[in-house]
Amino acid sequence: MLYSLATNRFVRNAGKRSLLYGLLKMMVKAAFYVFYRNVVVTGREKVPEDGPLIFAANHQNALMDPLAVIVMTDRQPVFLARSDIFKNPIKAKILRFLRIMPVYRISDGIETLQENREIFSSMEEILKMGGSIGIMPEGTHGKMKRLRPLKKGVFRIALESEKGIKNLNVRIVPVGIDFSNHYLFREDISVSFGNPLQVSDYIPLYEENPAKAIARMRDDLSEELSSLIVNIRNRKLYDRYELMLNIAVKTTVRSKKKKISSRIKFETERRIAQIINESEADGLPWFKELSELTGRLRSQLDESGFTPEALEKSKSMTLTTLRFLGYLLSFPFFAAGVAAHIIPLLIIDLSLRKITDPQFISSYKFVLGVFLVPLNYLLLAAVLSHFLSPVVVVSMVLFFFLAGLFAAEYKKRFSVFISGLRFLLKKRRRTEDVSAMQEMYGRVLILLRPLLEKL
């Protein structure tokens, strides 16, 4: 049945432009630029306009990763996604309409492997017809900013397709995706397209030794993907290196003495992550001391419930009072934004309570928001039109839209403010844990200097 679905619906239409799909893609793209505060796209000119393509992206954030690739290119790729998200019939129909097909893992049962072979065969057919497909070669997702080992499936599909038809010209386009936060609304996303891998270059080795050809392709793709993302390699010490990276980036940004773009911030984050990996490999004494100190600071922050921003933004009580007055005066706009969106917010909140995998949080927020928020505005407009003129109704709906964006930003900033206020109050009481954290933070900043000098 799955094979029939793949051939009848996907393979038959591979390489063809779907008007309905295109319209939905435009709507999703517009929503993407609302959901994310800043969308940074680099290397889009490297994506070939035609011919068989495989988009191979890192996988951190469930459905948001393939959507990022889909809306940031002019192609209409068929994506493979883990089979368990297809269990809900309604969700499965939406995914299939978006040209996303299930791929099965060993944990889904041995009997599903035959269905995988049929689906992979369908992917090869799509490529042979000049279409494009998308695969997350890591095989699973996770919030860690690191590249996990790549699975073999993408390489087998690429090599078998190229081998099957001479001069087919299959290319694999690496895509690096980074998020400033995986879960929150109005965060930043970076989508970077790398240099395509020419599959025909690996065919002679594949015909001689398939295992070596796949291994070489895997190494080449891993290297390219690593250069496109923030890649903290040490999984065991990930938490401390993530904090080190966080502090280093904020220190670098502050040293610029002016607001920098999200593009430069992402590039800085990638470069600092590379320097952390290199410094760890060199085993220098100053880095070992920095690592151990950052680990202790990480433990103190987790135990106290403070965020790193609380240490960085510890201000005087006078300035804190003025900031609080600013939040108090702007609260009506926050309340208006929440009140105008209360229905979709409640529905989304109820849906999120059923999620067992946190990496689906933003996916649920986005997909539900794409449909619920426009309907909410239509409902508001219908109610207001009974009392106000059309011009006023449009103005009110626009106000509610802007108030909603303001409310999201207000909530994030106020949360950081409260953490900083708690830290300031404890600081005034001169508690030992606060003094210890401040001392460690100061020493971390000093030890970071050799690392930042390499930028």
Q: Is the pLDDT of residue 16 over 70?
A: no
**Total number of domains constituting the chain:** 2
Judge whether 195 and 228 are in contact, CB under 8 Å.
no
Predicted confidence at residue 156, as pLDDT, reads 92
* Residue that is written with structure tokens 């988009």 in the block: 55
Interacting residues of 397 by C-beta distance below 8 A, sequence separation 6+:
377, 380, 381, 384
pLDDT class of 6 with cuts at 50, 70, 90: very low
Q: What local confidence, expressed as pLDDT, does residue 10 receive?
A: 52
Domain boundary among 226, 256, 281: 226
Q: Please tell me whether residues 379 and 256 are part of one structural domain.
A: yes
Q: Give the pLDDT confidence score for residue 7 in this predicted structure.
A: 47
13 and 137 belong to one structural domain: yes
Q: Report phi then psi at 80, rounded to 5.
A: -100, 135
Among residues 169, 198, 226, the one where a domain terminates is 226
Q: What is the pLDDT of residues 399-423, one digit of tens each?
A: 999 999 999 999 999 988 888 888 8
Q: Note the pLDDT of residue 427.
A: 75
117 & 252 share domain: no
Which of 41, 28, 73 lies closest to 54 in space, CA to CA? Answer: 73
Same domain? 160 vs 13: yes
| Residue pLDDT, tens place only, 194-205 | 999 999 999 999
**Average pLDDT of the segment spanning 315-334:** 89
pLDDT at residue 167, rounded to an integer: 85
Is the Cα torsion angle 379, 381, 384, 386 positive or negative in sign? negative
CA 21: distance to chain centroid? 23
Do 203 and 284 sit in the same domain of this protein? no
Do 176 and 89 share a structural domain?
Answer: yes
- pLDDT tens-digit readout, 289-318: 999 999 999 999 988 888 887 777 556 778
Work out the mean pLDDT of the chain and round it to a whole number: 88
Q: How far is CA 353 from CA 350, 357, 393, in A?
A: 5, 11, 34
- Higher model confidence: residue 9 or residue 170? 170
Residues 410 and 425 reside in one and the same domain: yes
What is the pLDDT, as a whole number, of residue 428? Answer: 74
CA–CA gap between residue 13 and residue 133 (Å, rounded) = 13
d(CA 119, CA 136): 15
199 and 332 in a common domain: no
Residues 138 and 257 in one domain: no
User: In whole angstroms, how large is the CA radius of gyration of the chain?
Assistant: 25
**pLDDT for residue 452 is more than 60:** yes
pLDDT tens digits along 180-221: 999 999 999 999 999 999 999 999 999 999 999 999 999 999
Q: Which of 200, 226, 252 is a domain's end point? A: 226
222 and 112 share one domain: yes
Q: What is the pLDDT of residue 261?
A: 86
> Which own/partner contact pairs does 394-400 have at CB distance under 8 Å and 24+ positions apart?
399/336, 400/336, 400/337, 400/340, 400/341
For residues 303 and 422, state if they share a domain. Answer: yes
Residue 235 gets which letter from DSSP?
A: S
Query: Do 342 and 257 belong together in one domain?
Result: yes
For residue 113, the domain's CATH number is: 3.40.1130.10
pLDDT at 134 over 90: yes
pLDDT tens digits, residue range 254-294? 887 777 888 899 999 999 999 999 999 998 899 999 999 99
**Side-chain half-sphere of 425: how many Cα atoms within 13 Å?**
8
Cβ neighbours of residue 389 closer than 8 Å, sequence gap 6 or more: none
Domain that holds residue 309: 233-455
Residue 109's pLDDT is 62
Q: Burial level of 24, CB count in 10 A (0-12/13-18/19+)?
A: middle
Going from the C-alpha of 133 to that of each of 69, 285, 377, the distances in angstroms are 11, 47, 35
Q: Can you read off the two tokens belonging to residue 219?
A: 């190494």
